[in-house]
Structure formats: C-alpha cells, structure tokens
Amino acid sequence: MVSEREKMLSGDRYDPMDPELVAERKRARELTRQFNQTGPGDDEERAAILEDLFGSSGEAVTVEPPFRCDYGYNIHVGESFFANFDCVFLDVCPIEFGENCLLGPSVHVYTATHPLDASERVAGPEYGKPGTVGDNAWIGGRAVLNPGVTLGDDVVVGSGAVVTEDVPDSVVVQGNPATVVKELE
C-alpha cells in the first residue's frame, strides 16, 4: 500500500491530515520556530538547524529569519545560497535551488496546490508539483514562484513578479503573470 507521504512526494493527490504528515509538519514548525528565535550572531546555531531541516544544502548558505516551510526535507539548496527575511517555501514536493541563488525579502515558492473542482477541493485532497531554480538566479522581493515552475540559469525575477510558467536561461522576467522583458548576454 502506498503511504500518503509517498503520494505527496510523487505529486499524486494525498490526504494532508495523515498522521505521519501532520507529525512531519509539526517537526518543521518546531525547527523553524527555533531558527526564527535565533539572534543576529547565532550563525552556527542557524546553520545547524538548517542542516537538520533542509533535505540538502551546499556551503555558505544564509537564510535570514523569519523563515517558514511545510516540511523542510524537500528543500535542496546549492552553494552560496542567500534568502532574505520572510521567505516561505511550501515544499510538499521538492524545491531545488542551484548555486549562487539570491532571494529578496518575502519570496514565496509554492509546490502545494489543490484540485480546481470545488467539490473535490472541499473534500480535502491536495497535490504538488516540484519547483526548480537554476544557478545564479536572483529573485526579487515579494516574487512568487507557482507550483511546477522551473527557472533556468542566470535568471532575474523582478520584485513582485508572479511566475506561472517555466523561464528560460539568461532572461529578466517581471509582472503578473511574469513575462520576459529582457534577454541577458
């Protein structure tokens, strides 16, 4: 029998109230609570908490509190990752960041989504679509990456953009929905 966790990770519809998933979310909330209560000089403590929380991470990872996520173990960040204050990652499916990624304040990355049919949605199942960010990305403050979006390498996402579709390498996107406004050399 396939567990609700296995369904969630594969992007199938799952029951978010499954006891295993509820316990895993509580664990993530406790770790983020601890992380968010650290002081400005508590770099080693922050690094230890993120190592316990994230699925994997490279060297030189900085996340400014406060930070929120659903599970944590689905978050994978590369070398030289920086996330400014108030970022939120809804990681029911994997979220993967390449190397040298910079996130402005209040960047939200969503993998969680719900059925469009109201009767099915009210019944409670959820599902997810993974998100991927390539190397050398810069995501401006208050930008949102929707479920299933992939950003290529060397992408710049303008502040406040809502990214609803994949973005190719070496472009600037902005707006709602985000569109390419410039190609980079």
Which one-letter amino acid corresponds to residue 46? R
Block residue for tokens 């709602």: 176
Q: Are 142 and 107 in contact (CB under 8 A)?
A: yes
Residue with tokens 């960010």: 133
The answer to whether residues 62 and 82 touch, using CB atoms and an 8 Å cutoff, is yes
In whole angstroms, give the CA distance from residue 70 to residue 141: 20
8 Å CB contact between 38 and 48:
no
**Residues annotated as catalytic (active site), given as ranges:** 114
